[in-house]
Amino acid sequence: MATPEPQSSTQPGKALPLLLTPIFLRGVAVRNRIVASPMCQYRSVDGGPTDWHIVHLGRLAMGGAGIVFCEETAVEPRGRKTYECAGIWSKAHVAAYKRVSSFIREQGAVPAMQLGHSGRKASVHGPQQEWAPLTEADAAKGLPPWVGLAPSAIREDEGHHIPRAMELADIRAVATAWRRATALSAEAGFDIIEIHGAHGYLIHQFLSPLTNTRTDAYGGDRAGRMRFALEICEAVREEWPPAKPLFFRISCVDGMGGVWSLEDSIVLAKELKARGVDVVDCSSGGITGSSAMPVLPRTPGYHVPFAARIRREAKMMTCAVGLITEAKQAESILQGGSADLVALARELLWNAEWPVQAARELGVADYLSLLPAGYAHRLRRREEVAALPINANADVDPGQARLIEST
């Protein structure tokens, strides 16, 4: 990891806060350490992005984030959760995604794509319908249910569809789909790919013994259960340009009652690093069971200890996510060596200009430079006018008058 010289400072001779310091990830320069995390929108049509995605993701890029991720994007149609989920499995998707990536880049952010596969989570309605499984009634409306894939034929929850246990041919086909989606993402102009191996999706289903009861080379002990994840990683890294970074999101621990542990994740991270992964994106949850593993309390920065241990023990870069909402909190995570990047999700939905406000709170002199030039110009003018010592009864200098009228 290398960082370029800061372009502005809080005070003369003082470096930028680490949160606002640029970073190089392989050959990609990122303007700061703030990541807009992938957030599913359920607004896609036949997998492809719409105007909603231009506005949603463009807003996050305009707000000053360094990296802006598209939502979890399926590598094949059956890998979606819902009919409205994003996907990139066809050349027909490329032009629409290129509009998205180009706009993000024009705003100074790095466009990033998260690739995933729902596995057994497939064939449901969206979150506003509480993930209700599709039924024959939906089929009559043109939304027929489909059979999801999984390492073992274990359903997500009572009442949900039973997935089909993957045969070796299925494993090869899904790996090929991941490879193709990687090539399409490069063609669509993205500079970072993240493999989604968390939150109970297909890769996580292979990792956890609660959802993987296979007895072949893709099951059994930890090495067997990691095989699928590592083969997907190898396929993506081979297809992805060497100068572009690869992220991998993991659930550092299963959900309440789970089995996959932080120690397992550290071992996995070391293997991922050996296969060319640059950053482990540290999250949690997605698979539950009946073990003694407790629920993870959702307190501010609750994944930071995971990111710190993986960073230290696997000796690789990490990204921390999870209730990071304050500028000083984010800066302390980076200054303390717990992570190299911090990711925000819901906080950016609430306040897309959080990076700009964080820069101001941390004392960056020209914090408005994170905004588009036209925005920054008008806001600087407003600050200049507010600072003028104007008395309502006094004559106004012609230069001051022009400044006031131009704001």
Enzyme catalytic residues: 201
Give the C-alpha separation, 407 to 385, whole Å. 8
Residues in CB range of 248: below 8 A, 6 or more apart? 194, 195, 197, 233, 272, 277, 279, 280, 281
Q: Which of 406, 381, 370, 344 is nearest to 39 (CA)?
A: 344
Give the C-alpha separation, 85 to 47, whole Å. 6
Helix (H) or strand (E) holding 246: strand 246-251
Give the C-alpha separation, 318 to 311, whole Å. 6
* 3 state SS of 115: strand
Structure-block tokens of residue 171: 């494993």
Name the one residue in this structure whose structure tokens are 């979606």. Answer: 80
Number of other residues whose CB lies within 10 A of the CB of residue 374? 8
Give the C-alpha separation, 281 to 38, whole Å. 11
Give the C-alpha separation, 171 to 232, whole Å. 10
Print burial letters for 102-111: b (CB count within 10 Å at least 16), e (below 16): ebbbebbbbb
Number of Cα atoms under 13 Å in the Cβ half of residue 36? 33
Please say whether the beta carbons of 146 and 122 come within 8 A: yes
CA angle centred on 208, ends 36 and 318, rounded to 5°: 30
Q: Which amino acid is at 353?
A: E
Please say whether the beta carbons of 155 and 163 come within 8 A: yes
* 3 state SS of 369: helix
Please say whether the beta carbons of 229 and 11 come within 8 A: no
231 sits in the region (left: phi over 0; alpha: psi -120 to 50; else beta) called alpha
- DSSP state at residue 127: G
